[in-house]
Amino acid sequence: MNLPDDEQTFLRDLVKASRQKIHVVKWPDRDGSERQTALTQAEATRLNAIAHRLGISKPELMRQAAHIPVAK
């Protein structure tokens, strides 16, 4: 393929992620609606580490994260 390097990297990462086992975290959003977030293995590992360090569950961590303001 004759694509710029950044597009080749993007496509390679998509293929890599699609080959990984997907982990789904169900969590309540700040408005109370139920959400599902699909995570790659690397994302799931990092989320687990943060939740473990804080002593809370993954759904609770995601609920609290929903209150983090969006960067401008």
Output the six-digit token pair for 71: 């960067």
Q: Helix axis angle, 41-54 relative to 58-65, nearest 10°?
A: 90
* pLDDT per position as a tens digit, 7-45: 999 999 888 878 888 899 999 998 999 999 999 888 999
- Three-state secondary structure string covering the chain: CCCCHHHHHHHHHHHHHHCCCCEEEEEECCCCCEEEEEECHHHHHHHHHHHHHHCCCHHHHHHHHCCCCCCC
Evaluate if residue 70 carries a pLDDT over 90: no
- Answer whether 0.75 is exceeded by the pTM: no
Q: How many CB atoms lie within 10 A of CB 39?
A: 19
Domain extents in the chain: 5-65
- Band of pLDDT at residue 71, cut at 50, 70 and 90: confident
Note the pLDDT of residue 36.
96
